[in-house]
Amino acid sequence: MDFIERLNESVNTVPNLPLKCFLGYLPPKDEAFVLFPLAGGRVVEEFFDGTKDQELNFEFAMKSKDQQKISNTLWLVQNYLEELSEIASSDGSFDFDSISITNKPFINQLDETGIYVFLVDIKAKITTYPKGENK
């Protein structure tokens, strides 16, 4: 299933995004913007043909010494996601239903070197198909 990849591509189309978003966890460098899955996803309903309605949790994380840059970036992304109505699978493995923001941008960490980490948490509702057998 290619949902997280399509979500990441979609976010990277946001105009004036100061940093490109990558899949994975925050690297040790001073500045990064990433997307990764969180625990707690679940199958809401499973059908006889193997199709599943699912709720999946994801987190956007950004770190930088520039707190304003982080805030601006994450609010841009959060506003974009609230209006997002379509994400298309490239392999037919899912249909997009909706995204809800479960935690708006918030500070998570400030380390001794002055690097801030802020997070945004989302829940995606999608329908998945066995082996990409969409419709």
CA nearest 131: which of 95, 88, 92, 105? 92
Q: How far apart are CA 81 and CA 102, in angstroms?
A: 12
Q: How far apart are CA 68 and CA 52, in angstroms?
A: 40
Percent of the chain whose predicted confidence (pLDDT) is above 90:
93
Averaged pLDDT of the chain = 94
- What's the confidence (pLDDT) of residue 128? 96
pLDDT at 17: 95
Reported as a single tens digit per residue, the pLDDT across 64-80 is 999 999 999 999 999 99
Decide if 29 contacts 64 (C-beta within 8 A). no
Q: What is the pTM of this model?
A: 0.93
Other C-beta atoms lying within 10 Å of the C-beta of residue 109: 12
Task: Indicate the number of domains in the chain.
Answer: 1
- What does the block give as tokens for 62? 């950004």
CATH of the domain at 103: 3.30.2000.10
Structure tokens at 103: 């935690």
Query: Which domain covers residue 76, as residue numbers?
Result: 3-132
